Every structure is written in C-alpha cells, then in structure tokens.
Structure 1
Amino acid sequence: MKTAVTKQYSNLVFDLGAVLIDWNPRYLYDKVFATAAETDFFLSNICTSAWNEEQDAGRSLQDGTELLITQHPQFEAEIRAFYGRWKEMLGGPIEETVDILRELKESNQYKIYALTNWSNETFPLALVTYPFLQWFDGIVVSGREKIRKPDAAFYHLLLDRYQLEADSTLFIDDNARNIHGASACGIDGIHFTSAAALRKTLEEMAVYGAAVHS
C-alpha cells in the first residue's frame, strides 16, 4: 500500500459483501447437500464465483440460471436454488464493521460511498434488509451499471458521478484483486481481513482516530 500516514482523505469507499454484509452461498448449500464435500464441489464447479460475477455484471438471473441448467441438467434443482433461495445466503450485518462505518459517518468528516459487485435484481432486497445502507452518500451497484470491479471504468464511474478526486479517496475491499484495480486508477486501498484489522489500519493512517476523537 502506497499510502502515507499523514495523507488526508475526503472520501471513504466501502465494498459491501464480506466487509459490511455476511453473504456466503455455503449458508444455503450446506442445507441443500448432505456433506461439505458436495457443497465444495458444487460451488467450485457448477455455481462458481465466476458464473455469479456475470450476474453481478448485468446478466439476468434467469439467463444465468438457464445457461447452467443447459450445461448441468442433473443439478437443475440445486442451480435454481441459487437465486430462488438467495436470501438464505445472507448471514446478517458484520456488526463490528458497521460500528466503524457508523462512527465515521457520525464524525461528519468524510463523504462515504459504497462500490459493490452485486446483481441489480437482488440488491433491492439488501436495501430493505440492512438499514445502514441508507447511511451512504452514494452507492454504485455493478449490476445496475453492467460493469464491475476490477474494471477501471467502474472506479472512474464512481469518481465521475460524485465528482471525487482519486487522490483523496480511500477504498476498502476484501478482495485484493479489487484493491489492485483501484490502485491502477490512483485510489489508495485497504485490503479488508477483519473489522479489528481495519480499525487498526485506519487509526495508523489517522483516518479513524481523527474522525472519532475530534
């Protein structure tokens, strides 16, 4: 990370899944399949992350589902469950990170945004499930824009839409690939591993401490 401790930021950008929202397909498929090995096989070979990301990038849930059923007809019921029972993949808010978000928001020192790879068809459910999503000054959803992280155009869309300067923007994401994508656009990043580690890093960068103790 190229960030200097004394650097000043005006804008903080959060990823949502695995940072603020606990979403995991295993929560569903550990109920669908009898063994963890079966779940592992299905999520590694059938309903893969790469397949799901195409829906995040704008492909319709129906088209994505029917494509997989054509390829793997023996798993039709399990494939249909991915979006038919999608809500069962939601594990709730990651409260420790939500607390950090709340404190930063209440400091009134930053504009706070979300940049998320998420299907536009399922995101409305998240909006009504997690009240803290209303705290953001803006949210950019990949499925709505039909482009996703780590494509440079997605980061530039955020910057352009809200008139942000890359140099004064800090991005938080659990996927190192997406942090590298932001860096290529001149946006500093923090690779999220836990709320405790995030809090410590923000304090070291004088982002968190300055906000909550001023």
Structure 2
Amino acid sequence: MQSFRLPPPKALIFDLGGVFTTSRLDSVHFETGKSTISFDRLIRTSTWMNYECGKISEDECYSTLSELCGFPVAELYDAIKKGRARADYDESLISFLSKLKKSHGDSLKILLMTNISQPDYLALKDKWGPSFWSVFDRVFTSSENGVRKPSPRFYHKVLQELRVSPRDAFFVDDLIENMITAKAIGIRGLLFQSVQQTISVLTNLLGDPVEKGRAWLKANARKMDTTTDCGAIVVKENYSQLLIYEATRDFMLKPMTKFMNSEEPKFTTRRYPDDLDTTSLALSVLEYDEETIHGLLDDMLGNIDDDGMIEFYFDPSRPRIDAVISVNVVTLFCKYGRRYQVQSTFQWIHDILFHHAYLDGTRYYSTPEWFLYYVSRLIEESNDEVVTEKFHGLLRKRIQERVGSDGDALCLAMRILVCKRVGLLCPFEVEKLLSLQCEDGGWEQVYMYRFPGVDKKLGNRGVSTALALKALAAVSHH
C-alpha cells in the first residue's frame, strides 16, 4: 500500500540551461567605457526577454543592447558565436532518461520547457543532433510560444497541450522563481542541484522506494556495520543491530549476540562495562524470560545516584547520565510494571520535555529527535494510562514545533514516527525523506551517537534505512 505517495507522474518537464547544460558565457564581460557589464546581466534585461519570446529579431536585440550599454555590437556577436560552438550537455542525464523512455514506453512523456531564442535553439538543435533531442517527446520554447518562464501562462499552455493535470506532471528546473510558479499551479517539482540528485529523485519517484529499501536491507543483512564519521573505522556493537531489528522485525536482521561489543572496544578503555542503553533495548526487542528481565531490572536499580537519576553504565566508577538513555531505561521499567521504582527519572524526563531542554541534544545524542522518538516509544511500549496521560499531549505539542525543520534521514524518520504516534501529518518530512533515498535503495549513513571523550561520531546505514522504511510504512497506513 502506497497511500503516502501521489501516483507516479505521466509527464517529466525539464528546463534546458542549468540542468542539461551550463552557460559558457557566465564569465564574459563587455567593456562599457568606465566599467563593464556581464553577459548574465544582459540576459536579464527586458530586451533579451523580448528576444527569447520571439518579439524582436536577433539583430535588433544585439544592437539595442549595444547602444544601451555602450559596447561594440561585434563583441556580442562574437561571444554568442563562441558560446554556441562550445555548448555541450550532460550525457549521463540523457542516458538515464533514454532508459526511462524505454522502460516506461507511452505511459511517460519526457519534455523540455525552456526560455530560449529561436536562433539559439536552432543552433543547439543542429549541434547536438538526435542523440540529445530524440529523448524528448516535445520541446516547448519561449520563442515559439511567445511567453517565458516564470509566467503561469507558459505552464498552463504546456499542460493543456500535453492534456495532463498539474498533479500528473513533474518539473525540474534550477531557478527558484520558476519552481515557485510550478508548485503554485500544483505541479510537483525538484529544484535542480546536481545530476546525481535528479537521477536519484526520479528513480524513487517512478519506482517503489519501500521495496527498494527492503531489497537493500536483505542484500546487506549481517553486513551493516557501524563506522566512525570518517568511515575508516568499523565498530562492532549491537546497539545499531538492535535498532535495525526493532524497526524491521526481520529475523534475518536479528543480532547474533546479546552483548554490547563483539570485539575489543574502541575509543574507550580496554575493559568496557555493559551499558544500560543497549541492555534495555535488547530486553525490549529480543526474547528473554521474565525472570531474567526482572533480575536485570533489579541490577539497574543499583545504578541510581543520590538524586534518583539512572546512571548509564553497570560500573560505579563511570557515573554518566544521559536523557535519551534514561528514557530508554525508564521505558523498560514501565513496560514491566515497575515505574514506581524510577519515579525521579520519570519526572525528570517530563521536565526535560516540558522545558525544551532536549533541543541541543544530549551528551551522547546530538539531535532533539532522538529524545522525542524515545518518549514516543515510552508511550507505546509502556501501555500505561498514567504515562499516556502525562506525555501524549505535551509530546504532540513538541513534535509539532519540529515539523518542517531541517534534518537528516534519521531525524526525518523519527519525526514521522513520532507524528504518527500522536496523530499528526507531516507531508514535508515524508517528501524530504523519499528524496534522500539513494539509488541502491538504502539511505545514507547519518550519525547516531558520539563518543564525547574522543570527539568521534558513529553511524550506520542500516539504521538510517530501517527507520526510514518503518516511517514510510507507518504513514502508508495512516
């Protein structure tokens, strides 16, 4: 079920300059006596715009600009001639569109919609030949239609001739003013930044991102290691594997061991004690008998300091406290009916949420979404009316404050899941998360937590991908 997505578009509408080709004239300047004027400035004049709309001839345009700005008209003719001779296009994007055309047949139209004069269009048409132009079912030029972007009349005319509704079209352009008009009409679109970004977005738009993501997880099962921010050092730990398993509940992705480290610890002391974060997560998602669980909960009670706060390690020589980890531990206590034993930490979590104390992250987790996600998990896992009454309404307010803000794939996925838990919609987050999916089906590694003592950040592509898929699956049933 894909209700979180609009149907795939029936028409892809591309800009030409800035998407397929970049101007060779951006650095050209003309001497105008005491100063200079750039070519970029010339094409933003009403004279050039009239030329692009076919209202004046090439000669009239050039001579008018020459007289207006005070430079020899021959210099402009020469610059344009050289620019046309050197013009080229991105072959990788054309190759990608050729494959799309073959795979989708008549169900998908690929078009150009560009501001360009008739002489420039004819010059490029002759220079690039069928290897470029045959990819497009139609080419709409401003000179042929007497109107240029960002005029809404141009967009409506293209849609009318294609006989498609705005929601069935997808627009790619590098200029924000052109994109605003498209989206104001109801056309979906992508502000072009790179060829790779465009290929990735279109691949996901025309395919099934969830199936691609699941295929990536399956192909990389047991190989999704956690690495440092530089990517050079692999850290064998179970926390990320537990997060992946909890998000997917796929037996093939279940951790093989039940301990924090499966090799000698890195970035810390040689003897590294078990921590309550990984232990609490493992007891929540793996199969343990209740006697074992309650025995470990009893052990955790020995880690409460004089203020009633739960410390991070099963080691009194390491008195560490972290708000996100505290939520994780309290969740386990609530799940097994022992909330009364961690009441001070429970109230502290509420105070942090109430006073926005999570916004700068915590000692080990750098983004506010980690705290909010674990609070939503607290509500879900505890199945406790007191917990729901205390946190649900406040969490709804706090996550609503985050909707629309920037964030990486992990932040967006967590935000979507929290919104789902409290009954909010967040279409911006869903759209942004989909746009971040990689061509191979996974999502890029983003940083989960850090070792503050050595300033190292750790991340895992498997966690990013698993949480992204869980978020998309959640909203598909919303």
TM-score (norm 1): 0.80
CA distance in 2, matches of 1:88, 1:26: 15
Partner in structure 1 of residue 109 of structure 2: 111
Instruction: Return the alpha-carbon distance in structure 1 between the equivalents of residues 184 and 156 of structure 2.
Output: 11
1:155-177 per-residue CA deviation (whole Å, 9 max, x = no partner) reads 11111112122111101111111
Q: Which runs of 5+ in 2 are unaligned?
A: 212-438, 440-478
Partner of residue 68 from structure 2, selected from 56, 63, 71 = 71
Q: Which structure would you say has the larger RCO, counting Cα contacts within 8 Å and 6 or more residues apart?
A: 1
Cross-structure match for 1:151: 151
Aligned to 1:202: 202
State whether structure 2 residue 176 is matched by structure 1 residue 176: yes
Provide the aligned C-alpha RMSD in A: 2.9
Paired residues of 2:26 and 2:40 also in contact (CA < 8 A): no
The answer on whether the counterparts of 1:5 and 1:206 sit within 8 Å (CA) in structure 2 is no
Q: How many residues align?
A: 200
Q: Give the drift of 1:121.
A: 2.0
**What's the CA shift for 1:64?**
1.1
1:143-162 Cα deviation digits (max 9, x unpaired): 11110011000011111112
Counterparts in 2 of 1:88 and 1:53: CA distance versus 1, 3 Å: farther
For residues 182-208 of structure 1, what are the alpha-carbon distances to aligned partners after superposition, in whole Å with 9 as ceiling and x for unaligned?
Answer: 112221111111111112222343459
* 3-state secondary structure, aligned to 1:139: strand
Output the CA distance in 1 between the equivalents of 2:7 and 2:68. Answer: 51
Residues 29-56 of structure 1 show CA distances to partners (whole Å, capped at 9, x for unaligned) of 38x89xxxx98x43355x3433543322
| Matches of 1:201 and 1:93, distance apart in 2 | 20
Q: If each structure's strand is expressed as a fraction of its own residues, which one has the higher value? A: 1
Cα drift, residue 68 of structure 1: 1.2
Aligned to 2:189: 189
TM-score (norm 2): 0.38
**Structure 1: distance between partners of 2:120 and 2:206:** 36
For residues 133 and 7 of structure 2, what CA distance do their matches in structure 1 show? Answer: 27
Query: SS of 2:163's equivalent?
Result: coil
One of 92, 95, 98 as aligned partner of 1:99: 95
What letter is aligned with 2:192?
A: F
Q: CA deviation at 1:80?
A: 3.0
Task: Please name the residue that 1:53 is paired with.
Answer: 49
Shift in alpha-carbon separation, 1:81–1:208, aligned structure 2, 3 A: farther
Inter-partner Cα distance in structure 2 for 1:100 and 1:151: 29
- What residue identity is the alignment partner of 2:63? E
1:7 and 2:2 equivalent? no
Q: Secondary structure at the match of 2:119?
A: coil
Match of 2:373 in 1: none
Q: Distance in 2 between matches of 1:126 and 1:139?
A: 13
Q: Distance in 2 between matches of 1:112 and 1:206?
A: 13
SS in 2 for 1:21: coil
The change in CA–CA distance for 1:9 and 1:60 in structure 2 (over 3 A counts) is same
Gaps of 5+ in 1: none
DSSP 3-state at the match of 1:160: helix
- CA distance, structure 1, for counterparts of residue 180 and residue 50 of structure 2: 20
Corresponding position of 1:24: 24
Which region of structure 1 is more displaced relative to structure 2, 114-123 or 75-84?
Answer: 75-84
- Percent of residue pairs bearing the same amino acid type: 23
Question: Equivalents in 2 of 1:157, 1:66: separation in Å?
Answer: 31
Question: What secondary structure does 1:64 align onto?
Answer: helix
Contact 1:24/1:89 (<8 A) preserved? yes
Aligned to 2:38: 42
Contact 1:19 1:97 in 2 (8 A): no
Change in Cα spacing, 1:149 to 1:80, as seen in structure 2 (3 Å) is same
Q: Is the alpha carbon distance of 1:23 and 1:42 closer, same or farther for their aligned partners in structure 2, counting shifts above 3 Å?
A: closer
Structure number, greater radius of gyration: 2
Once the two structures are superposed, residues 121-147 of structure 1 have per-residue CA deviations (whole angstroms, 9 ceiling, x without a partner) of 221121122222122111111011110
Amino acid at match of 1:118: I
